[in-house]
Structure 1
Amino acid sequence: MDGEQRPLLDISRETARMLRGKKAVIFDWDGLLFDSEPVFFGAIAEVLARRGVTVDKEEYVRADLQNGVSLLERLAERGLIHDLPAVRDEIYRDYRAKLQSPIAPLPGALGLLGNLSGRYKLAVASSSRREFIDIMCQQYDLASYFDVIISREQTDRLKPNPECLLLAVKDLGLDADQCLFVDDALRGLRAAQSIGLDCVIVPNRWTREAVYPGAIARLRSLHELNEIFQASEEV
Structure 2
Amino acid sequence: MKKYILFDNDGVLVHTEPLYFKANIQALKKFFDVELEFEEYMKIMSEGTTVWQKALDKGFSFAEVEIARNKRNEYYQNFLKTENILIDGVKDVLKELSKDYKMGIVTTSRRVDFEIIHKNLGIVDFMDFVLCEEDYNFAKPHPEPYLKGLELFKAKKQEAIVVEDSTRGLTAAHKAGIECVIVKNEFTLTQDFSKASYFIETLKELKTILN
Normalised to the residue count of structure 1, the TM-score between the two structures is 0.82
Deviates more, 1:55-64 or 1:82-91: 82-91
- Preserved CA contact (<8 Å) 1:75 1:81: no
* 1:90 shift after superposition: 1.3
- Preserved CA contact (<8 Å) 1:148 1:172: no
Distance 1:176 1:155 in 2: 19
Q: How many corresponding residue pairs?
A: 208
Question: What amino acid does structure 1 have at the position aligned with 2:54?
Answer: L
Q: Does 1:182 align with 2:160?
A: no
- Preserved CA contact (<8 Å) 1:183 1:203: no
- Preserved CA contact (<8 Å) 2:106 2:131: yes
Counterpart in the other structure of 1:4: none
Question: What amino acid does structure 1 have at the position aligned with 2:28?
Answer: L
- Preserved CA contact (<8 Å) 1:34 1:103: no
Deviates more, 1:54-63 or 1:218-227: 218-227
Question: What amino acid does structure 1 have at the position aligned with 2:65?
Answer: L
* 1:81 shift after superposition: 4.4
Counterpart in the other structure of 1:48: 28
Secondary structure of the residue that 2:86 maps to in structure 1? Answer: coil
- Preserved CA contact (<8 Å) 2:182 2:196: yes
- Preserved CA contact (<8 Å) 1:126 1:151: yes
Counterpart in the other structure of 1:29: 9
Match of 1:155 among 132, 136, 146: 136
Larger relative contact order (CA 8 Å, sep ≥ 6): 1
Change (3 A) 1:227 1:178: closer
Residues 1-235 of structure 1: matches in 2 within 5 Å?
21-51=1-31, 52-64=33-45, 66-72=46-52, 74-79=53-58, 81-82=60-61, 83-229=64-210, 232=211
Consecutive unaligned residues of structure 1, counting only runs of 5 or more, are 1-20
* 1:209 shift after superposition: 2.2
1:171-224 C-alpha deviation (Å, 9 max, x unpaired): 122122211100001111111111210100113112112331231111222122
- Preserved CA contact (<8 Å) 2:28 2:55: no
- Preserved CA contact (<8 Å) 2:163 2:183: yes
Backbone CA RMSD of aligned residues: 1.8
Consecutive unaligned residues of structure 2, counting only runs of 5 or more, are none
* 1:93 shift after superposition: 1.4
